[in-house]
Structure 1
Amino acid sequence: MRILLWHVHGSWTHAFVQGEHEYLIPGPPHGIGLAGRPWRATEVDLSEVDDVDVVVVQRVEELSQVPPGVPVIYLEHNTPKYPAQEHPLADWDGTLVHVTHFNSLMWDCGSTRTVVIEHGVVDPGPLYTGELPRVAAVINEPVRRGRIVGSDLLPRFDPIDVFGIATEEIGGQGDHELGRLHRELARRRVYLHPARWTSLGLSLLEAMHLGMPVVALACTEAVRAVPPEAGAISADVDELVRAARELIADPALAQEKGRRAREFALAHYGLDAFLRNWDVLLKEVTG
């Protein structure tokens, strides 16, 4: 199947193009193309694309660039700004995919058909060593997004190392940088997910795949993604601080909870199920 999609969210696209289809990604001036990623995909000039089976759209402005007569799936990555916000494609006659059940619950999509296909992660492997008795956090644009992603909470988890990502929404990091990030994260004893209101961060799922124990705010989709046996999840920040300190002080406990985090992530956010669910939908909409 020939699939046209834009490179918007690098980590999600990295997982999606692991399937068995032919992936066409618009380059400049209509998109950022592969942006240096060694994906099994083809960067194309959108003006020359005239033979595709389906288009995966991730931004409203992309709809006007879809070749006529081609089935369209709209992929919504984000939470609404407030519960029950009307989606821009409410009462649309196409199919809208949410990446979490929380997002599907909170967006008002009217009569538009909605489907949830949860994230899948390319397994970086069980790299966890936990050799550094510190907390790690990965936050997309921590200064600009502030309280939304919990930047104000970070000092309470000292000692902490914060890995900031400024470009995730326009493609994220290259594979080499991502691999280095995973190795550095895995050296820290605990992973922190402090976001108050955001779609489920793929860095959280990647940390669990690494075998890291996690402490997470019980907000949005995190309550489904983080089982208590993987670390700690709570809306009480003091409780999370205590849990992080306990894990830092007890490497054996951290190792055991990290093992359980990895088992859960592989079972619920593995790549095979993600690709299989997408294949079912792609076949359905192309009829």
Structure 2
Amino acid sequence: MNILLWHVHGSWTTAFVQGPHLYLVPVTPDRGPDGLGRARTFSWPDSVREVTPDQLRDAPVDLVVLQRPHEAELAERWLGGRRPGRDVPAVYLEHNAPDGDVPGTRHPCADRSDLTLVHVTHFNRLFWDSGSTRTRVIEHGIVDPGHQYTGRIPRAAVVVNEPVRRGRHTGTDLLPALSEAVPLDVFGMRTEGLAGHLGLPADRCRGADLPQRRLHPAMAERRLYLHPVRWTSLGLSLLEAMHLGLPVVALATTEVVEAVPPGTGVLSTRPEVLAEAARRYLHEPEAAAADGARGRQAAVERYGLKRFLADWERLITEVRS
């Protein structure tokens, strides 16, 4: 089966393309947002093939996975007039929690009868207003990086992209107080200079933009994983941290309360409770390792790749029937 999808979310796509199909990923000369082509920092199988818009015009396509509102028009144009949902089976994959007038935010695909809207968390489906559109939830799947945890570095790993720009959404404003409890290593995109922006000593909050191949080993060396995010979809970095074996200290918001079961970390809406939990893990490495091991087991069971791919196979069969 030939599945057309754009390279939008590298981590999610890395799991999706482990399936048994041929995955057609558009590429343009500038490799811009609508034509990134194959990932350069993630490991994708040979079944992921770059295709130009001209090549797509006559390409056999069995399913279109839309991920952004403008992709429906783009797909119809590049597929030579074949419209997703009418001429080619289609699903719309929504990666994000709603924004704006929550919980009244209308989804761009609301009241559509020609496609299925797929959410990555039950929280997201609950909060988006999808009208009469058929919806499904397929929870994340993770390519298991293995139990790499050592916790030898007494600092907390935080993974967030663009923490300065995203501000309160990602809990960036909470980092100064939390850094008093545990020194922070913030990984992600555009994290350099974060300490200066927050007015923190460099040793209390270090930013590092690491390539993907170095991120997991670096996370696994830290004593705990800190997730101060207020409002976003369930971060794949949190699930990856659990797979690695890190104990989790996180705000009890959005889908996190479902993903992190008791005995694998500490969840709270009170930052002072998170700070105390971080201090405990900092000074009790054996407790940190034990909670992290339980967290890994829970994450592998719920967010394993086999379950994820099986869920998608069932939906693909349903959509194409």
TM range (shorter): over 0.9
Equivalent of residue 107 in structure 2, options 77, 80, 87: 87
Equivalent of residue 64 in structure 1, options 52, 69, 73: 73
Q: What letter corresponds to residue 172 of structure 2 in structure 1? A: S
Do the aligned partners of 1:33 and 1:43 also contact (CA within 8 Å) in 2? yes
Q: Which secondary structure state, in structure 2, belongs to the residue aligned with residue 228 of structure 1?
A: coil
Q: Aligned partners of 2:249 and 2:63: how far apart in 1? A: 39
Q: What letter corresponds to residue 61 of structure 1 in structure 2? A: H
Equivalent of residue 151 in structure 1, options 168, 172, 175: 172
Which residue is 1:126 aligned to?
A: 147
- 1:140 Cα deviation from its structure 2 partner: 1.5
Q: Deviations over 1:172-218 (max 9, x none)?
A: xxxx9223111011110010011101000000000000000000100
Q: Which secondary structure state, in structure 2, belongs to the residue aligned with residue 18 of structure 1?
A: coil
Q: CA separation of 1:256/1:38 partners in 2, compared to 1, >3 Å: closer, same or farther?
A: closer
**Residue 9 of structure 2 corresponds to residue 12 of structure 1:** no
**Residue 44 of structure 2 corresponds to residue 39 of structure 1:** yes
Q: Aligned partners of 2:213 and 2:266: how far apart in 1? A: 26
Q: Aligned partners of 1:193 and 1:21: how far apart in 2? A: 34
**Residue 145 of structure 2 corresponds to residue 138 of structure 1:** no
Q: Which secondary structure state, in structure 2, belongs to the residue aligned with residue 63 of structure 1?
A: helix
Do the aligned partners of 2:10 and 2:39 also contact (CA within 8 Å) in 1? no
Which residue is 1:186 aligned to?
A: 220
Q: What letter corresponds to residue 74 of structure 2 in structure 1? A: Q
Do the aligned partners of 2:281 and 2:287 also contact (CA within 8 Å) in 1? yes
Structure scoring higher RCO (CA < 8 A, sep ≥ 6) equals: 1
Q: What letter corresponds to residue 239 of structure 2 in structure 1? A: L
Structure 2: give runs of 5+ residues left out of the alignment: 192-209
Which residue is 1:171 aligned to?
A: none
Which residue is 2:25 aligned to?
A: 25
Q: Which secondary structure state, in structure 2, belongs to the residue aligned with residue 119 of structure 1?
A: coil
Q: Aligned partners of 1:147 and 1:186: how far apart in 2? A: 26
Q: Aligned partners of 1:230 and 1:46: how far apart in 2? A: 46
Out of 256-265 and 26-35, give the one that drifted further.
Answer: 26-35
Which residue is 2:278 aligned to?
A: 244
Q: Aligned partners of 2:239 and 2:110: how far apart in 1? A: 29
Q: Which secondary structure state, in structure 2, belongs to the residue aligned with residue 220 of structure 1?
A: coil
Q: Which secondary structure state, in structure 2, belongs to the residue aligned with residue 243 of structure 1?
A: helix
- 1:155 Cα deviation from its structure 2 partner: 1.9
Which residue is 1:232 aligned to?
A: 266
Q: Which secondary structure state, in structure 1, belongs to the residue aligned with residue 211 of structure 2?
A: helix
Identity score, percent = 57
- 1:268 Cα deviation from its structure 2 partner: 0.6
- 1:35 Cα deviation from its structure 2 partner: 3.8
- 1:48 Cα deviation from its structure 2 partner: 1.7
Q: Which secondary structure state, in structure 1, belongs to the residue aligned with residue 167 of structure 2?
A: helix
- 1:239 Cα deviation from its structure 2 partner: 0.6
Q: Which secondary structure state, in structure 1, belongs to the residue aligned with residue 263 of structure 2?
A: helix
Do the aligned partners of 2:110 and 2:129 also contact (CA within 8 Å) in 1? yes
Q: How do 1:194-209 residues align onto structure 2 when only pairs under 5 Å count?
A: 194-209=228-243
Q: What letter corresponds to residue 134 of structure 2 in structure 1? A: R
- 1:284 Cα deviation from its structure 2 partner: 1.1
Q: Aligned partners of 2:253 and 2:284: how far apart in 1? A: 26
Do the aligned partners of 1:227 and 1:233 also contact (CA within 8 Å) in 2? no
- 1:164 Cα deviation from its structure 2 partner: 2.5
Q: Aligned partners of 2:139 and 2:171: how far apart in 1? A: 23
Do the aligned partners of 1:135 and 1:157 also contact (CA within 8 Å) in 2? no
Q: Which secondary structure state, in structure 2, belongs to the residue aligned with residue 215 of structure 1?
A: strand
Which residue is 2:297 aligned to?
A: 263
TM-score (norm 2): 0.84
Q: Aligned partners of 1:234 and 1:83: how far apart in 2? A: 22
